[in-house]
A and B are shown apart, each in its own frame.
Chain A
């Protein structure tokens, strides 16, 4: 089969699952980040700083695991060269001894914005980001004007190279050489997650929702236009590929707090993306069972949920008519079971997730470290899904 035909076949399979139609078989998608490098004999410094090696490793995964129908862009590997030039205070690929870590290390941003700065942020979030938040996260911009300008010029050059070499070129190679579609064409985060991840930290935001309720709500609203623009501006409308949105804080919130703080901009973001005929693909970290009523208030059959954990049988019954569910195969089973046990688990998963469509087989975790997936068991499971998952 030609790569072009294979690409179309895979894209059609995933698109049908997105729309809750019945494809020829259960589609398979996989969230792969630095594991692709490890699998190909490279460490995370190779993956983060050497674009030809990054591309080679993703292409090898696409070649060796041909049962996969869509892979994410390599955004998750993150831009090491940019972090070096901008002197990131948060991301590290290697220790002080120069030895690469097994996976990227991230220090929480923490108190990037202080509580008394809420009004300033709310009045002009873009200005606050440029003037204060970025210099506090990247030491190269926390310098006198001239040095800061030089650093920004260096960043701009590296940014262009990164986008071209790590994202665009890889996407083209995967499509043309392997017939592999990208799972996503854009990404964003929900405003409250951005606030936790890059401004206030987990501890800060949890205190703020108790003590500064109005500020948190207003800050999420103020940030919304920026995050919507990040998601879909200049993106071509269409059901597939999707818009990737990792959800971080929700399962740490009581449903009542979720409704007060997270839900308003969350719902608005989903509605705006769907209105433009795009598919939000939510990376639903944690167990979402306490929030199923909210999920059922999302537009029907327009959203995909990559769910990390929970009782999948119950989940299918509770929210399976609203969102297309992606996931369900624990990496623990791939790694700590025999081949036959892992295959049996996958078959049973398909038995209750596949009926009526709206299901994409995937692992429950993003693959990062060398031991995140035993390749032999993974291959056996994917081969099984490709056959056992046929709709007859």
Chain B
């Protein structure tokens, strides 16, 4: 089982919901678009934490 933890709460933390809010025409995007976007946000988080806490 792949572990998931809750999303980070922050004014600047990227989320698909914010993308859609800023770009309403993306509202009906295929599921893979959202999934791949969220995977890339996870990678961004890992990269930032490498700079911040390592």
Q: Which residues of B sit under 8 angstroms from A197, Cβ to Cβ?
A: 53
A317 close to chain B: CB less than 8 A: no
Contact with B8, one of A138, A226, A276 (Cβ below 8 angstroms)? A226
> Which of A60-68, A227-235, A335-343 faces chain B?
A227-235
Q: Which residue of A lies closest to B13 (CB)?
A: A126
Query: A159–B47 contact, CB under 8 A?
Result: yes
Q: Which residues of A sit under 8 angstroms from B6, Cβ to Cβ?
A: 225
A13 close to chain B: CB less than 8 A: no
Query: A236–B3 contact, CB under 8 A?
Result: yes
Contact with B3, one of A126, A134, A138, A233 (Cβ below 8 angstroms)? A233
* With A134-B52, A156-B47 as contacts: A229 and B8 at CB distance below 8 Å: yes
A130 close to chain B: CB less than 8 A: yes
B-contacting residues of A (Cβ < 8 Å)?
A: 75, 78-79, 82, 86, 124-127, 129-131, 133-134, 137-138, 155-156, 159, 189, 194, 197-198, 225-230, 232-237, 276-278
Query: B53–A227 contact, CB under 8 A?
Result: yes
Q: Contacts A75-B54, A129-B52, A233-B42 given; 18 further ones with Cβ under 8 A? A: A79-B50, A126-B10, A126-B13, A127-B11, A127-B12, A133-B52, A134-B48, A134-B51, A137-B52, A194-B53, A225-B5, A229-B8, A229-B45, A230-B49, A233-B45, A234-B2, A235-B3, A278-B3
In the assembled complex, how far is the CB of residue A267 from the closest CB belonging to chain B, in whole angstroms? 17
A-B contacts, CB under 8 A, total: 77
Instruction: Please name 29 pairs of A and B residues whose Cβ atoms are closer than 8 Å in the assembled complex, sorted by A.
Output: A78-B54, A79-B50, A124-B12, A125-B10, A126-B8, A126-B10, A127-B10, A129-B48, A129-B52, A130-B48, A131-B12, A137-B52, A155-B47, A156-B47, A159-B50, A194-B53, A225-B9, A226-B8, A227-B53, A228-B5, A229-B5, A229-B8, A232-B5, A233-B3, A233-B4, A233-B42, A233-B45, A234-B42, A235-B3
Query: A124–B10 contact, CB under 8 A?
Result: yes
Query: B5–A233 contact, CB under 8 A?
Result: yes
- How far is B51's CA from A194's CA once the two chains are assembled, in angstroms? 12
- How far is B49's CA from A133's CA once the two chains are assembled, in angstroms? 11
Q: Which residues of B sit under 8 angstroms from A130, Cβ to Cβ?
A: 12, 48
Interface centre among A126, A189, A198, A235 (most CB of B within 10 A): A126
Q: Which residues of B sit under 8 angstroms from A131, Cβ to Cβ?
A: 12
Q: Which residues of B sit under 8 angstroms from A138, Cβ to Cβ?
A: 51
Q: Which residues of B sit under 8 angstroms from A226, Cβ to Cβ?
A: 8, 49, 53
In the assembled complex, how far is the CB of residue A227 from the closest CB belonging to chain B, in whole angstroms? 7
B17 close to chain A: CB less than 8 A: no
Q: Which residue of A lies closest to B10 (CB)?
A: A126
- How far is B8's CA from A141's CA once the two chains are assembled, in angstroms? 23
Number of interface residues of B (CB under 8 A): 23
A-contacting residues of B (Cβ < 8 Å)?
A: 1-6, 8-13, 42, 45-54
Q: Which residues of A sit under 8 angstroms from B45, Cβ to Cβ?
A: 229-230, 233
Contact with A234, one of B3, B11, B50 (Cβ below 8 angstroms)? B3
Query: B53–A234 contact, CB under 8 A?
Result: no
Q: Which residues of A sit under 8 angstroms from B10, Cβ to Cβ?
A: 124-127
In the assembled complex, how far is the CB of residue B43 from the closest CB belonging to chain A, in whole angstroms? 8
Query: A124–B11 contact, CB under 8 A?
Result: yes
In the assembled complex, how far is the CB of residue A194 from the closest CB belonging to chain B, in whole angstroms? 5
Q: Which residues of B sit under 8 angstroms from A278, Cβ to Cβ?
A: 3
Interface centre among A75, A124, A227 (most CB of B within 10 A): A124
- How far is B42's CA from A229's CA once the two chains are assembled, in angstroms? 9
